Amino acid sequence: MARSAEETVAIRQAVSVGLAVSAYGISFGALGVTAGLDIWQTCVLSLLMFSGGSQFALIGVLASGGVAAGPAAIAGAVLLGSRNAIYAMRMGPIIGSGVFKRAAASHLTIDESTAVSTAQQSLRAQRVGFWWTGILIFLGWNLSTLVGAFVGDALGDVSAYGLDAAAAAAFLGLLWPRLKELQPVVVAVAAAVVAAVLTPMLPAGLPVLAAAVVAVIVGLTNWLGAKDPHTLAEEVSADTIVTEEEHP
């Protein structure tokens, strides 16, 4: 069957997003190894967890607190993955029925696949956008994680190369596109202050979880929020459209 113009657009977006995201799997691989994981543990995270924010969070907490911070590391990663559940609810009707298909789609449900899919108009293009983006990123992210892990392994001493600063910058890069309205900016600043102030008082990992309370309070009361709140998936897809137009 010939591809419609809409489907071609979806594929083109999937490829550009896929390539960009895959590239930073290299930084995840390198940081994973320098956080104390071995090459295979780093790769299993990308294969099995397959959600950038959660993966960076897990290795971030393990890097500062070691295995003792395990429970906090798990909690942080899972909390960060909660937005994928919202994406999955949005994607459910688009993916359609079929147990195997929905199981495969579950694993590929991340920021980027949801964003590319929901940016399309027709149902066919939404499906094409989701599967192309999800599969391309899955392949690229895992391949680049492996390469990054070998690079990190070869580098040795972390701080001499500034990889600790790279980890902080990686979190900032994941955060940056979400700071477009007053409410998230206020939450971000408050959460950063809470985490920094509590760092000397609590075991590693817990200050990050304590900062999550800020989000729950502001989210439930909708303090400083828009009068007509839009859904998460719509916000993310709006981001992608903007990015597409600015970087053709």
Partner 1 sequence: MTLWSIIIIASLGCLALKVSGYLVPPSFMEKPKPSRVANLLTVALLAALVATQTFGAGSEIVLDARVPAILLAAGLFALRVPFVLVIIAAAATAALLRLFF
As measured in angstroms, the least distance from the Cβ of 11 to partner 1 is: 21
What is the torsional sign of CA 81, 193, 24, 245?
positive
Report the first-to-last Cα separation within the chain, whole angstroms: 27
As measured in angstroms, the least distance from the Cβ of 2 to partner 1 is: 31
**Which long-range contacts does 66-70 make (Cβ < 8 Å, 24+ apart)?**
66/36, 66/204, 68/203, 68/204, 69/203, 69/204, 69/205
According to CB under 8 A, which one of 27, 118, 145, 237 is a site residue for partner 1? 27
According to CB under 8 A, which one of 135, 151, 161, 239 is a site residue for partner 1? 161
In angstroms, the CA 104 to CA 182 distance is: 36
Cα dihedral 36, 165, 22, 124, rounded to 10, equals: 110
As measured in angstroms, the least distance from the Cβ of 178 to partner 1 is: 5
Report whether 120 contacts 91 (CB < 8 A).
no
Segment near partner 1 (CB under 8 A); pick from 8-16, 120-128, 131-139, 222-230: 222-230
Query: Of the two residues 6 and 175, which places its CB atom closer to partner 1 in the complex?
Result: 175
C-alpha 72 chain-centroid distance: 18
Query: Of the two residues 121 and 176, which places its CB atom closer to partner 1 in the complex?
Result: 176
As measured in angstroms, the least distance from the Cβ of 199 to partner 1 is: 5
> What value, to the nearest 5°, has the Cα angle with vertex 9 and ends 7 and 15?
105
Which residue has 């010939």 as its token pair?
Answer: 2
- Is residue 232 close enough to count as binding partner 1 by CB under 8 A? yes
> Which residues between 30 and 89 bind partner 1 (CB under 8 A)?
36-37, 41, 44-45, 48-51, 53-54, 56-58, 60, 62, 64, 67, 70-71, 73-74, 76-89
Segment near partner 1 (CB under 8 A); pick from 1-9, 124-132, 134-142, 196-204: 196-204
As measured in angstroms, the least distance from the Cβ of 57 to partner 1 is: 6
> Which residues between 125 and 154 bind partner 1 (CB under 8 A)?
none
- Is residue 238 close enough to count as binding partner 1 by CB under 8 A? no
In angstroms, the CA 27 to CA 44 distance is: 16
